[in-house]
Structure 1
């Protein structure tokens, strides 16, 4: 299963973020990420806040990954040969940005996880690290996030880089946006430019199921209650929550469904709704037999004979059908989830 993480920002006090961190922990997140690129005048403040975050991570048995450079270590008054002392604070891994020699990276990798910067890593750099004696079992690769619109990675570039990393045996880390965009630009913090305006959960599913990313971190600080529910139910029960707007329709629609294993091209077909129809007396009268754009939730009416009662979601635009009642519509933010509801995948309607 993918590792889920959130970002912690040391320009805010730990007290301001503690409730949020506790909440995400309770909803299945197991990793914290923070940056130690520290303004010189705030060095002492940041060191204290890092220790508070590290203490929290240690208490909750969460991983704590820090983005670090030689200069930020100086601000923390830690020498390169003392960097392993961060383990005692509760730091479990370091994302090495720039300025560390291969020998230092190799030393760090003997004691803790090292995440190499995907944007600056080349095949020859990997070979140099291996020759320096780096512990491959403690090596991972992490992509950046991109605050400025139009600067996020293209999907082809992302896939090409990840192909190399996986050939070398590295797991891959990347970022998705949160629900509360962070300043100064407030344009969200994704790795892929495609995800700039996506919901956190949809971007996560795209990275995990579509791109096989091993660790996904929320770049912005803040997730809504709805997003947290989506993450929790997926982590605990393998259920994809689809938020949908219901029409004024009285026919009872079950909450939990799973897609038939013989996956249809144009629609998601609820296997559960068909089985329920076989065990109860249902007469679904024709109502709202309208056009069915992508994301339309429908139920087959009594004109469809033995198909009566089948619940579907359209995966493409379909015309009106007098045998199919329109029940509601999946919200725009969750339409990107539809391609990832494969055969046997459970989904749940959250009516909004």
Structure 2
């Protein structure tokens, strides 16, 4: 499951409705917001959360609301009357500070409850089991970290997730966006520090490999290119790559959908379809060093390999048998490690866009 964020410091209006509809169309199914509110904004936030809940229901989005002790009451709601929140379209509460195990256990029988993945302890889980909490409705959510250098360590994060999953809990974490950044620091909202300046899809795929079940975009928006990449991934499990073609490159050979071979090579991604295509004899081109991200096509000097298309996963020397016909845009090179066995990928020229 993938989700995105909308923050209540913004008005919930027609533009918001368009944004939520677009994210649903791209393939996102979860929505996250926070109800940490200043005193003078309480009535404003109550109005906005009701509108957001309505939009979430209309778009069939799960809506998780981050709260701390007293936040619901400030907005005019009650932890003792969760049915009102469910009716509004709120499907879950991330309950961090200020809630007893008894309250959490009781709430878990009425709606989804998110706990702090980084701080939850074995004794607290034991207590929740003693209180007969509904673990089918419990999940654990890592924080995002607005301040640079404070995001989580990779090895610690992986070990923590291994334990949480052994306890039967689903794990959620955040990736940064590459559109509008959330203030005041506007330095991204990742869970892992190493993801702070990553391509969003790279961060998402990495989290999946680290045992994360639910990936949420922390920042308010994604760029048009990232939306297109997520649309391809969520809709077709396809990795979309932008490239630049050199002179004399055959668009029909390079552009379009390819699949990596089932036997994954160390140095290159090998298009399994490319040699099956009927091609005219591929004449050798002037030598070029095969840098990381280079797109190559084997020429006639390679015999039966002629026509094979490859993407270079590392710097390789020039080879007279291999024509360098283009290259991936720099930021998309970071997606190469995620093109595994039989993985579908698509090469498109330069920038890509998605639904407007």
TM-score for the superposition, normalised by structure 1 = 0.95
Q: Map residues 90-239 of structure 1 onto 2, 5 A cutoff.
A: 90-180=89-179, 181-208=181-208, 210-239=209-238
Superposed displacement of residue 257, structure 1: 0.4
Match of 2:301 in 1: 303
CA RMSD of aligned residues (A): 1.2
Superposed displacement of residue 245, structure 1: 2.1
Distance (Å, rounded) in 1 between the aligned partners of 2:329 and 2:171: 30
Question: For 1:18, what is the secondary structure of its paired residue?
Answer: helix
Distance (Å, rounded) in 2 between the aligned partners of 1:328 and 1:161: 42
Match of 1:268 in 2: 269
* 1:64-94, Cα deviation, whole Å (9 max, x unpaired): 0000122111211223212342111100011
Change (3 A) 1:57 1:115: same
Question: For 1:256, what is the secondary structure of its paired residue?
Answer: strand
Match of 1:322 in 2: 320
Match of 2:353 in 1: none
* 1:299-319, Cα deviation, whole Å (9 max, x unpaired): 111111111110001111111
Question: For 1:190, what is the secondary structure of its paired residue?
Answer: coil
* 1:177-203, Cα deviation, whole Å (9 max, x unpaired): 111222111111110111010111111
* 1:117-147, Cα deviation, whole Å (9 max, x unpaired): 1122111111111112210111111000001
Question: For 1:73, what is the secondary structure of its paired residue?
Answer: helix
Q: Map residues 77-88 of structure 1 onto 2, 5 A cutoff.
A: 77-88=76-87
Structure 1, gaps ≥5 residues long: none
Distance (Å, rounded) in 1 between the aligned partners of 2:107 and 2:196: 34
Q: Map residues 33-48 of structure 1 onto 2, 5 A cutoff.
A: 33-48=32-47
Match of 1:312 in 2: 310
Indicate conservation of the 8 Å contact 1:171/1:214, yes or no. Answer: yes
Q: Map residues 24-35 of structure 1 onto 2, 5 A cutoff.
A: 24-35=23-34
Change (3 A) 1:212 1:282: farther
Number of matched residues? 346
Indicate conservation of the 8 Å contact 1:43/1:76, yes or no. Answer: yes
Match of 1:283 in 2: 281
Superposed displacement of residue 288, structure 1: 4.2
* 1:39-83, Cα deviation, whole Å (9 max, x unpaired): 111010011111111001111111000001221112112232123
Question: For 1:80, what is the secondary structure of its paired residue?
Answer: coil
Superposed displacement of residue 281, structure 1: 3.9
TM-score for the superposition, normalised by structure 2 = 0.94
The reply on whether 1:51 has 2:65 as its aligned counterpart is: no
Distance (Å, rounded) in 1 between the aligned partners of 2:115 and 2:60: 23
Distance (Å, rounded) in 2 between the aligned partners of 1:327 and 1:67: 49
* 1:319-347, Cα deviation, whole Å (9 max, x unpaired): 11111111222222222211111111100
Indicate conservation of the 8 Å contact 2:249/2:326, yes or no. Answer: no
Distance (Å, rounded) in 2 between the aligned partners of 1:248 and 1:211: 41
Match of 1:73 in 2: 72
Change (3 A) 1:334 1:287: same
Indicate conservation of the 8 Å contact 2:46/2:76, yes or no. Answer: no
Runs of 4+ displaced beyond 4 Å: none
Match of 1:256 in 2: 257
* 1:159-214, Cα deviation, whole Å (9 max, x unpaired): 11101100100111000011122211111111011101011111111112x21311
Compare 320-329 and 13-22 and name the one that shifted more: 13-22
Distance (Å, rounded) in 2 between the aligned partners of 1:155 and 1:80: 35
Distance (Å, rounded) in 1 between the aligned partners of 2:329 and 2:243: 5
Superposed displacement of residue 38, structure 1: 0.7
Compare 320-329 and 14-23 and name the one that shifted more: 14-23
Question: For 1:14, what is the secondary structure of its paired residue?
Answer: coil
Question: For 2:302, what is the secondary structure of its paired residue?
Answer: helix
Distance (Å, rounded) in 2 between the aligned partners of 1:30 and 1:341: 24
